[in-house]
A and B are shown apart, each in its own frame.
Chain A
Amino acid sequence: MRALLWIAALAAAGGGVAASAGSRRETFSEDLLVKPLPDGKVLLHFEFSVQRALSTGIEGQHSYRLFPRQIGEIALRYGVRELQLAFTQGGWRDKWGYAPVASQGAGAEILARIEGPPEEAARQWKGLANALSGVFCASLNFVGQENTSSPRLTFAETTNADSNGSTSGSTGGSTGSNTGGSVLKHGYLPRENVCTENLTPWIKQLPCQSKSGIAALLNPHRLFNMHFHSMGASLAAATDATSGTPVLHYKQHVSVVLDPSTFGLGSNWTLGELMDRDLAAACPVASQSTVRVVASRPDLQTNSRPDSTGQVAGHTTHTFDLQKRRLDDIGLSFGSAAGPPPASTLPAISAHRYVTGHGGISGGIEAIIVNRRAEPVRIVYLDVLPWYLRVYSHTLKVESTAAGGRTAALAPSRLLFTPAVDRGRPSSLEVEMYLPPNSHTTLRFDCEKGFLKYTEHPPDANRGFNIGPAIVSYELPVADPAASQPLFCAAANGQAPGKACAVRIYTELFLASLPTPDFSMPYNVVSLTCTVLALFFGRVFNLLTRDFAILKQADI
């Protein structure tokens, strides 16, 4: 009780008390990365992270200062060890290089590692999705058994990578990855639209909301007038870099690709002009508040002198520290017109997926995976398809065309397939293979469209069903910090140099148009079919009960 009072008093004292006990347990940092893209667009990557020391005591568990209480309590309530949530709109283009975030598939994606035995975890997962649905004003409550999968190879790189390992050798199975008493669950809602209503609760979780710091730049009118938008949050247990104690790490990010020319800006603009908001002073409770500008184009000039200059992901980066000085704005100016992108900025692997076949029910899926590296790369292809696309796993074929133009069959080194159950679970196909150097690899299999009850079709039935992306994951060795690599790899590399960095690529979504019944027919069908059935009944009854007799002459 006394502890609670004390924390209440501290909270009443307001922000800016950097030395208080509460903020020692929790630290907050914010960062904005600005990266001009080769085609004149610009990538803004906002990242807000808050760390909280894990404690077992009751007062520790229930006192929140910077860390969003709703997230902390949800994690505690549903036994969440790890959580990744992403709302994405638009597609990330290969020509922009590596994506700034791990998850780039359009729609809503939720990934969680939940403690407990599988049945218990399934219940907790449903509860978690419903709770997050409320927190983020999203349709996450539609994540159920029928669109949840438990991939075993694809997300192996997440925190439990060491214990999870890719060692289990059996094919298929239904329990999914289940190691150390925790279950990995992955849900995908391809039809989810991301909008301001999701951003508002997201901003509310920030300690300074959008009042100060770089969060002041988050202007929904600009954020959603974009080419690519990814907003998300991730929660993971980690080890504090300085003290070595276990901490809970909650990271929120927004990545947008904006085209300055949309807003009437030429080759000379400031961040304030781009976002139509003013850059405020650093958030008072932040331990770090920086704006980094990546000099991805040689003709880039900043209007004020950066506080420091370093190398991030193969580019010179100018860092502006908002805590050291009050910056009103940061201006960027570019020289001549943008040239074509140098080949080295293209990601090492890219993947696309198409629907093949024609007609209403039979068809296939074809994925093309390009390896641009000069060495073999181990990848894992994950395709989770809803039950109404019946996958025929025996038709799976993998072919690879090497640089010389020679095409040969490629044998997957591992294949995990979980067949779908009608109205139960999706089918999940995981293929582990080693892509030959500089090659195009094609993976194709047949699938057949199922027939749904008329109530299972969406209101606009002829539009079809959105089908979530396939995910290709691979590990990128990041020995050289100057090499081109994803931003999050560069960040991870700072902590544990020399470690391989896991990268995921999301393919495009596709629309599956299922054969539709005539929605106006129920009464007609009931009456016509029952007529035929009644006819059968009548005839059989007639046959069983009536006999032939000779008509007497007198009766005529």
Chain B
Amino acid sequence: MAPKAAAARAQRGSGATSAESGRLAWALLAGSALRLGIFLLFPGLVAHYLSGRVELSTPVTSYKRLVEGLHLSAHGVSPYDGGVFHQSPLLLLLFQPLYYLPDVFTSAVYVAADALVALTLAKIATARKAGAAQQPPVPGETVFACAPSTVAMLYLFNPLTVATALAKSTVIFSHLSVAGALYFGVRRRVDLAVVCAAIATHLSLYPAMLIAPLALLAGGAQRRTGAIVAAASKFVAALVLLHVLCVAAYGAQYFAATVDFTLRVADLQPNVGLFWYFFIEIFDEFRSFFIVVFQLTALAFAIPVSWRFRQDPLFAGTMLVGVISALKSYPAWGDLALFLGLLPVFEDLLKYLQYTFLSANLLLYGIGLAPVFWHLWIEQGSGNANFFYAATLVYVFGQITLLFDLGTAMLRRDLDMRRPEARAHVVVQE
């Protein structure tokens, strides 16, 4: 009798958790079903309309270019000896078997990858919730009303995420490794986190910045120098190993076509970032100077930002994801989707945000007008490049506003946590 009662108690205790995991499963299933349904029911929409959108796929993430790379390597031509293919050899390896299978398998891989990202985000939220439960509660604050399943749902049903998956942009695989790195980092699984970060770096370069918050996570609350250095060196070792493997498989050419290409911004196809129009218009003498300036602006703040938010390295990682989304050389809407997907994890910051109306409007304006202006410029010829440029400028501005509103909110909440009396007083930045 006794064991039965104990089991019943345990069931009651885990009742909330099992209902939550049921909701999570439903969210993942519904999200996958939505994507698969569109893939199967409207293949024309996907193939002709979405896959060519510059807002969704860039020269480094385009699925059409991936297929070209697969086609070339299947016929014995090095895919990196040309101006079309600029994606990581890891993607070639992943898609090589799928190349010979019907399309539905490829679609399934994308759907699964997106669902996995959502699942990882939900797990990050769970882990953070567990971590926050150990800290003393802040008076007057409802902690984590936003359930992990909601986090997954907000990511899965974000139109930007859906469109990115339907366009088969390979940025999804980079997102998966970024989310994986953050999750394993929060769970203190340093080796797995470092491997995920190395893969993400190999896929799209900029996630290399994430090693700073990951190393801090590895260091723990005491920030043990040994653990931090170990994590950083493991990351470098993983990168070198990946590089050596890729050189062995595809020759040193791959490096110039992927990493170097991303840094040099060699293809000036428009995207939603700052680089393309600037480097179309810049005078040739200053080109290399400004490339260094732009890339440094994007990359240099990894360590300072991580150190500033060292109390919560996961938040620092989220900030860096936002920086990548705003300032990488080939951004797409999918990058913003990951950043927005991470935001509900920090729902306690929501009430500290000061410019939500402004940043939401800027982002909506940028997202809404980009396709319209693109149509006017490219399809109809009645507008010109400045139209689309204006939309991307506003979009990036919106991201920057949101990003730093979030950072300020974190600092402000930190003060409230440390000194609860701050709530009753006027607080200024000094």
Contacts and interface: CB of A to CB of B under 8 A. Distances in A.
Contacts of B422: 548, 550
Chain B interface size range = 35 or more
Nearest to B404: A539
A325 interface: no
Given A550-B421, A550-B427, A543 B276 contact: no
Interface in A523-542: 525-526, 528-529, 532-533, 535-537, 539-540, 542
A67 to B, nearest CB: 42
Nearest to B297: A533
A532 B384 CA distance: 21
Given A392-B68, A419-B83, A536-B297, A518 B282 contact: no
B421 A539 contact: no
A543 B77 contact: no
B3 interface: no
A451 B327 CA distance: 20
Contact of A451 (B274, B280, B389): B280
B379 A359 contact: yes
Interface in B253-306: 266-270, 274, 276-284, 293-294, 297, 301, 304-305
Interface stretch (A166-174, A194-202, A433-441): A166-174
Contacts of B378: 359-361, 515
B280 A453 contact: yes
Contact of A452 (B81, B268, B403): B268
B326 A451 contact: no
Interface in A380-427: 387, 390-394, 415, 417-422, 424, 427
A515 B379 contact: no
B77 A360 contact: no
Contact of A525 (B304, B381, B389, B396): B389
Contacts of A391: 84
A172 B76 contact: yes
Contacts of A360: 377-379, 381
A542 B400 CA distance: 13
A540 B301 contact: yes
A38 interface: no
Interface stretch (B193-201, B217-225, B406-414): B406-414
Contacts of B276: 451
A14 interface: no
A168 B384 CA distance: 48
B281 A526 contact: yes
Contacts of B283: 522
B430 A453 contact: no
- The prevalent SS among residues of B at the interface is helix
Contacts of B52: 361-362
A450 B267 contact: yes
Contacts, number: 177
A5 interface: no
A223 B281 CA distance: 44
- The prevalent SS among residues of A at the interface is mixed
Contact of B400 (A419, A454, A536): A536
Contacts of A13: none
Contacts of B76: 170-172
B4 interface: no
Contacts of B70: 394
Q: Which of A172, A417, A543, A544: most chain B CB closer than 10 A?
A: A543
A421 B261 CA distance: 12
A174 B77 CA distance: 9
Nearest to A549: B430
A460 interface: no
B400 A526 contact: no
Interface string B80-108: 01111000000000000000000000000
Given A421-B83, A548-B415, A550-B421, A515 B428 contact: no
Interface of A: 170-174, 358-362, 387, 390-394, 415, 417-422, 424, 427, 450-455, 515-518, 521-522, 525-526, 528-529, 532-533, 535-537, 539-540, 542-544, 546-551, 553, 556
Given A544-B304, A548-B422, A550-B425, 6 more contacts: A419-B83, A515-B378, A517-B281, A521-B281, A529-B277, A549-B427
Per CB-CB distance, the 4 closest pairs between chain A and chain B, nearest first, are A419-B82, A360-B378, A172-B77, A394-B71
